[in-house]
């Protein structure tokens, strides 16, 4: 008997950032959305995607380039945030499919930027019912008092870091590996893996 697939979007965003405070008039804006689709039932990563987003109220700093590898020239070729959200909804079923990220930053950044840009929040109503904080689930499953960063969590789980840390596409891929580790341990919330 064939099992129904239970798909989950694992998302990691990179945003404009600075070593200190942002320059006057600048705000953090999403510049890359990494997405890995996970089939929770089959215990595998199905596909990986990358959307480069063009910022309108900030520029990529040298600090941000050193951290993410993204340059101002690269993000200028990206799509507007509204288009990125449309792609998430139309190509990745973001409005219906549950999603996860490492911590709450990604969810909060989507809420902030959706409001600031007057764009519909791509994941349905901006509440936590469709979102799972994989970092919190990981810390609970491993009995950790402090929630580790993604790189440390990979070490704890005995998993390799694949690609470049702080690159959205690679981080989403690595977070998806951690989600699958949690599923294998029976620690992933069942409600977080239903399509």
Each residue's pLDDT tens digit, 97-117: 999 999 999 999 999 999 999
Cα distance between residue 18 and residue 28, in whole Å: 9
pLDDT at 41 over 60: yes
pLDDT band with cut points at 50, 70 and 90 for residue 179: very high
pLDDT at 52 over 70: yes
Please provide the average confidence, as pLDDT, over all residues in the chain.
93
pLDDT band with cut points at 50, 70 and 90 for residue 194: very low
The DSSP code for 167 is -
pTM value is: 0.93
- What is the set of domains in the chain, with CATH numbers? 7-193 (3.30.420.10)
Q: Report the 3 state secondary structure along 47-76.
A: EEEEEEECCCCCCCCHHHHHHHCCCHHHHH
pLDDT, position 26 = 96
Q: What percent of the chain lies above the pLDDT cut of 90?
A: 91
Q: What does residue 70 show for φ and ψ, rounded to 5 degrees?
A: -80, 140
E strand or H helix that includes residue 156:
helix 150-157
Task: Give the residue with greater pLDDT, 73 vs 193.
Answer: 73
Q: What is the mean pLDDT of residues 151-169?
A: 98
Contact yes or no for 95/122 (Cβ under 8 A): yes
pLDDT at 6 over 80: yes
Cα distance between residue 22 and residue 172, in whole Å: 26
pLDDT at 17 over 70: yes
Each residue's pLDDT tens digit, 54-68: 999 999 999 999 999
SS3 state of residue 106: helix
């Amino acid at each position: 008997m064939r099992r129904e697939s239970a798909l989950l979007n694992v998302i990691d965003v990179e945003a404009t950032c600075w070593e200190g405070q942002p320059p006057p008039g600048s705000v953090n804006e999403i510049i890359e959305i990494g997405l890995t689709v996970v089939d929770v039932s089959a215990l595998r990563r199905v596909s990986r995607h990358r959307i480069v987003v063009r910022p309108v109220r900030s520029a990529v700093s040298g600090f941000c380039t050193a951290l993410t590898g993204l340059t101002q020239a690269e993000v200028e070729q990206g799509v507007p945030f509204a288009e990125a959200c449309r792609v998430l909804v139309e190509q990745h079923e973001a409005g219906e499919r549950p999603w996860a990220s490492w911590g709450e930053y990604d969810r909060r950044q989507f809420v902030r930027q959706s409001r600031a840009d007057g764009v519909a929040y791509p994941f349905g109503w901006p509440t936590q019912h469709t979102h799972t904080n994989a970092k919190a689930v990981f810390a609970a499953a491993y009995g950790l008092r402090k929630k580790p960063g993604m790189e440390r969590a990979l070490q704890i789980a005995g998993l390799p870091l694949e690609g470049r840390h702080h690159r959205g596409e690679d981080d989403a891929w690595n977070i998806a590996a951690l989600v699958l580790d949690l599923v294998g341990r029976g620690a992933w919330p069942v409600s977080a893996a239903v399509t």
